[in-house]
Structure 1
Amino acid sequence: MNIFRLAGDMSHLLSILVLLLKIRATKSCRGISLKTQELYALVFVCRYLDLFYSFISVYNSVMKVTFLATAFSIIRYMRYDKVVKQTYDKEQDTFRYAFLIAPCLLLALVMNHKFTVTEVLWTFSIYLEAVAILPQLVLMQRTQNIDNLTANYVALLGAYRGLYILNWIFRYFHERHYRQWIVWISGVVQTGLYLDFFYYYYLAWKSNKRLQLPA
């Protein structure tokens, strides 16, 4: 494992911890998209099926279990906690799952490395992760209710993807047979979705003001 992969994993993990901190400390999920959280849970379930039949390393297994557990913990808070669920912006978080899930599933059936159930589901998870942040970005644009913890959560998610791109570049030049076109293209698309957010995030940080996205 190289430093970019490790930093990317830690950024991803930290983003989830920041989100859990926001929910537990403030007893609020205002500004957080449940749609995005459920899409990420679906991504993890489809991607980490190999936990049942393949062992890579203790680190790999622990990270997968952690991402699964935290994803469903966030959903549980937002759906079932009596206090937290009252703060959910349900009327604004209306992005339709089908507009993301259906095209990603269709693309996974057509473009994959091998046409098997596990490989198609893994590929589907790659495509879906690339666009899973869209409901969150749309919600922030609609409500303009972007506190520092929510902004930092999204920023850390974006940093995770950017660091993974550096990881792929590093591996391309240091591993002779490393070619992952599906992963690479999906990762670039995902990173592109964050560019507008990072522009306004930087402006807010520079001026020491609260983040606001254009409606």
Structure 2
Amino acid sequence: MNIFRLAGDMTHLASVLVLLLKIHTIKSCAGISLKTQELYALVFASRYLDIFTHYVSFYNTMMKLIFLGSSFSIVWYIRRHKLVRRSYDKDHDTFRHFFIVLPCLLLALLIHEKFTFRMVMWTFSLYLEAVAILPQLVLLQRTRNIDNLTGQYVFLLGAYRALYILNWVYRYFTEPHYVHWITWISGLIQTLLYADFFYYYFESWKNNVKLELPA
């Protein structure tokens, strides 16, 4: 494992911890899109179908368990926890997220590396992850005012994917025959979706002001 992948994994893990800190400690999910969290739960559930049948390493298995457990826990908190769900902004979180699930599944059936159930579902998870952040970005755009923990959560998610792109570049030049176009293109699209948010995040950090997206 190279430094870029490790940094990407740790950044991804940090984003989850920040979100859980916000929900568990403050008992608030204000500014968090339930639609995005449901999509991420579906991403991990479809990607890690082999968790108990294909062992790679202790690290790999633990990361799978962490992301599966945390994603479904976050969805449960927002939907079921009495104190947390009171802060859920249902009126603004109206992105019809399930409408993007079917196109991702159809695309996975058409464009994949190998036509097996597990590989099609793995490919589906890549396509879905690329656009899973859309409900969250739309929610932030509608509410505009973003608290620090929510801003850090979204920034860390984007940074994780950007670091994975560096990981792919590194592996391309250091590993023979390392070519995964589906993964690369999906990851690039996902990172580009964060571009506008990154700009305003760094502007607020540079000027030491509260992060606020334009209308």
TM-score norm. by structure 1 comes to 0.98
* Equivalent AA in structure 1 for residue 74 of structure 2: I
Corresponding position: 1:97 with 2:97: yes
Taking the aligned partners of 1:208 and 1:46, their CA distance within structure 2 comes to 40
> Which residue matches 1:185?
185
Mapping for residues 1-215 of structure 1, pairs under 5 Å = 1-215=1-215
The answer (yes or no) to whether the contact 1:200–1:211 under 8 Å persists in 2 is yes
Runs of 4+ more than 2 Å apart = none
Structure 2 SS opposite 1:153: helix
Taking the aligned partners of 2:24 and 2:151, their CA distance within structure 1 comes to 17
Taking the aligned partners of 1:2 and 1:199, their CA distance within structure 2 comes to 28
The answer (yes or no) to whether the contact 2:79–2:85 under 8 Å persists in 1 is yes
The answer (yes or no) to whether the contact 2:145–2:213 under 8 Å persists in 1 is no
The answer (yes or no) to whether the contact 1:30–1:145 under 8 Å persists in 2 is no
* Equivalent AA in structure 2 for residue 124 of structure 1: F
The answer (yes or no) to whether the contact 1:39–1:128 under 8 Å persists in 2 is yes
Structure 1 SS opposite 2:82: coil
The alpha carbon displacement at 1:16 in A equals 0.3
The alpha carbon displacement at 1:52 in A equals 2.4
Taking the aligned partners of 1:99 and 1:214, their CA distance within structure 2 comes to 26
Q: Gaps (5+ residues) in structure 1?
A: none
Q: Percent identity?
A: 67
Taking the aligned partners of 1:73 and 1:145, their CA distance within structure 2 comes to 26
Structure 2 SS opposite 1:160: helix
The alpha carbon displacement at 1:99 in A equals 2.8
Taking the aligned partners of 1:145 and 1:114, their CA distance within structure 2 comes to 44
**Which 10-residue stretch deviates more, 3-12 or 113-122?**
113-122
Cα RMSD between the aligned structures? 0.7
> C-alpha offsets along residues 2-29 of structure 1, whole Å, 9 cap, x if unaligned?
0000000000000000000011121110
> C-alpha offsets along residues 112-164 of structure 1, whole Å, 9 cap, x if unaligned?
01111111100000000000000000000101231000000000000000000
